Structure 1
Amino acid sequence: MTTEWQSRPEVASAGLVTAFARVCLFCGPRLARLMLGPVCAWFWLARGEERALSRDYLRRVLGREPRWRDTWRHFWNFSSVTLDRLFILGADGRGIDVELSGTAALDEPLDAGQGCFLLGSHLGSFEASRVARHRRPQLPLRYVQDRRQNPAITALFESLNPSLAGEVLDLGGSPNVGLKLSETLRDGALVALLGDRVRGREASVPVQFLGGTAHLPTAPWQLAMVLGVPVVLFFGLRVGAGQYRVVFERFEVPSGVARAERAAALAECAQRYADRLAARATEAPYNWFNFFDYWAER
């Protein structure tokens, strides 16, 4: 997997993004979705490279040659999830309906007072994981992310909801993020992070994914092994306008692995995770939002 996604410019200026977002919040989710059509059409027409990457992914997941309608649906889902993110983060979920599935996988470690990794991906909406807080309002919830990625959008959401900044463990801005992560988990918090992209020179391992070889980071599994915390996979799949099916899955990570056997254990965890990603992507193929060459050599 290439890491060139990190250097891609944002699709619009900060001022334009902010203006459009505030108009959407003023109009409400129904009118905002009507305004989304021209924005998505511009993006679909102007971003030829992303259309080609969409076709490559859809060819793999659909098992046939994608038509233009398939790439349009793929772009429309991406645009819709981005818009819904605005209402989840900036308007306390107004106009968003979420159905939960597999909540026992999440409740079990939390009932035992354990910290827990909530591992998401760029399949569907990562922000829909915030429904976990509605089930347990007192639960500390922290998000591991790099504020340097999409800075205009990050700044917009934090201006709309200043409490978001305090929930972020910043990968790019803090040399002590590992220590903060460990302390947060020991306090019994949920720590949400993405597990399907490799950042820079981050350690990774090759996996088989949708008929090709991709690379996944090993950090989530290594942290879970070292810290001895449970891992719950999370998929927030868009199923309609403002509608999501949130699925939680317990993911077993071995503990007490000898150093000599750790590399094999990490590779096995990464491959099982890739298999779950592939299964969910096949179930909801237009929810995949990695618009870069996911199968490129590192």
Structure 2
Amino acid sequence: MTGLSLLGLGAMGLPMSEVLLAHGQPLTVWNRTAAKAESLRASGAVVARTPADAAARITLTVLPDLADVQAVVDGPTGLRAGWLAAGIRSPLLVVMGTVSPVAVREYAGELAADGIRLVDAPLSGGVIGAQEARLSIMAGGSVNDVKELQPVFAILGDIVRHMGPVGTGELAKACNQMIVASTVSAASEAMILAREAGLDRAALLDILRGGLAGSEVLRQKGQNWVDESFEPGGTAAYQLKDLAFALASAAEAGVDLPLTTTVRDMFAALVDSGQGGLDHTGVFRELERRSTFLFPVGELS
């Protein structure tokens, strides 16, 4: 067992593990589908059979939601049992998935009663950012806990900010996701208009990337709209989940978010249509459906 482990080898967790190992960081990994972890063994990772076997002083979780984190913490083969068996006192659990700011704050209080420290440190930068070790990391937790994590964060990201107490990292990520979801929605509308008006979408993408409309979203995802191919990176279903967190935080703060509400409704319609597994840029399909309901394809211009 090493002093650092990572649980969850999905689209983000796998490249993050590869980056840590490439920097010579001893690492234990665990994934629900065990075969996915085997590719890391050759790079020097210790592959754990259970979350308990992956319990380390610092344990990173890169899991979709807080329920998934709780599932690997509790139970006879969970992290809590592993920390106890290994005699690790005051372990540090780092929640790097996008979860509810309100719920993670409450969960941190529950864990603190058992001496378990929690830092929420969600990520932005997408799969490419994870592969290139240039993630933005938004950390919420005590000053000392976040300071202890700085060497690990410095390997994974090029922008690391301590946002405040537990929950503030996730609140910052909610703000990030509001902008991402609005951007992919606006880009989808623009590309539908361009297609129907007969513009060369590849040429338009070049112009957009080089002008004021340029963004990391267009850099990483722009070709999706040109090809109308929406293979998942971050899925529409996850985007909908994140927008729900943003709106719940807004309700708690007494803030009205009309644009985010509208965008949330578009993603909800896409998910309800059975297309939640598309990349979040696949909101194009929902906007296309709404456009063609009013104007048959080819008649928008």
Q: TM-score, normalised by structure 2?
A: 0.28
More helix by percentage: 2
Structure possessing the higher radius of gyration over alpha carbons: 2
Greater RCO, CA 8 A, separation 6+ = 1
* Structure 1 length-normalised TM: 0.28
